Amino acid sequence: MSRQGRVMFSRMDEVVFGQPAAGAVAELAARRGAERVLVMASATLDRETGCVAGIRAALGPRLAAQYQGMPAHSPRAAVLEATAAARRVDADLIVTIGGGSITDAAKAVQLCLANGIDSVEAMDRLRPGGAALLAPRVRQIAVPTTLSAGEFSAVSGVTDERSRVKELFRHPDIIPAAVVLDPAMTLATPEWLFLSTGIRAVDHCVEGICAAEAHPYTDAQALRGLGLLASGLERVKRDPGDLDARLDCQLGSWLSMGPLAAGVPMGASHGIGYVLGAAFDIPHGHTSCIMLPAVMRWNWGANAARQAMVAAAMGQPGGDAAALLDALITTLGMPRSLGAVGIGRDDFARIAAAAMATPWVPRNPRPIAGPEQVLEILELAA
C-alpha–C-alpha distance, residues 356 and 3, integer Å? 29
pLDDT for 91 equals: 98
Q: Are 154 and 194 in contact (CB under 8 A)?
A: no
pLDDT for 222 equals: 98
pLDDT for 69 equals: 85
pLDDT for 340 equals: 97
Reduced to 3 states, what is the DSSP secondary structure of residue 11?
coil
C-alpha–C-alpha distance, residues 238 and 233, integer Å? 9
pLDDT for 284 equals: 87
Give me the mean pLDDT over the 265-294 stretch: 95
At 61, the amino acid letter reads P
Radius of gyration of the chain (CA): 20
Element (H, E) at 14: strand 14-17
What's the Cα-to-Cα distance from 120 to each of 94, 161, 162, 194, 258, rounded to whole Å?
21, 9, 9, 31, 32
Q: What is the chain's mean pLDDT, rounded?
A: 96
pLDDT for 72 equals: 86
Instruction: Give 63-106 pLDDT, tens digit per residue.
Output: 999 999 899 889 999 999 999 999 999 999 999 999 999 999 99
Give me the mean pLDDT over the 318-328 stretch: 98
- pLDDT-derived band at 113 (thresholds 50, 70, 90) equals very high
Phi-psi region of 14 (alpha: psi -120 to 50; beta: other; left: phi over 0): beta
- Please work out, in degrees rounded to the nearest 5, the angle formed at the alpha carbon of residue 80 by the alpha carbons of 75 and 86: 130
**Non-local CB neighbours of 332 within 8 Å, separated by 6+ positions:** 195, 196, 198, 199, 233, 234, 237
- pLDDT-derived band at 166 (thresholds 50, 70, 90) equals confident
**Range name among 21-25, 113-117, 274-278 with the lowest pLDDT average:** 274-278
pLDDT for 130 equals: 81
pLDDT for 240 equals: 98
Cβ neighbours of 80 (radius 10 Å): 20
User: Residue 140: is it exposed, middle or buried by C-beta count within 10 angstroms (0-12/13-18/19+)?
Assistant: buried
**1 pLDDT more than 80:** no
- pLDDT-derived band at 151 (thresholds 50, 70, 90) equals very high
What domains does the chain contain, in order, with CATH numbers?
14-184 (3.40.50.1970), 190-381 (1.20.1090.10)
- pLDDT-derived band at 2 (thresholds 50, 70, 90) equals low
> What are the b/e assignments for 248-259, b being 16+ CB within 10 Å?
bbbbbbbbbbbb
Instruction: Give 328-382 pLDDT, tens digit per residue.
Output: 999 999 999 999 999 999 999 999 999 999 999 999 999 999 999 999 999 999 9
- pLDDT-derived band at 3 (thresholds 50, 70, 90) equals confident
Give me the mean pLDDT over the 231-257 stretch: 98
What does pTM read for this prediction?
0.94
Q: pLDDT over 90 for what percent of the chain?
A: 90
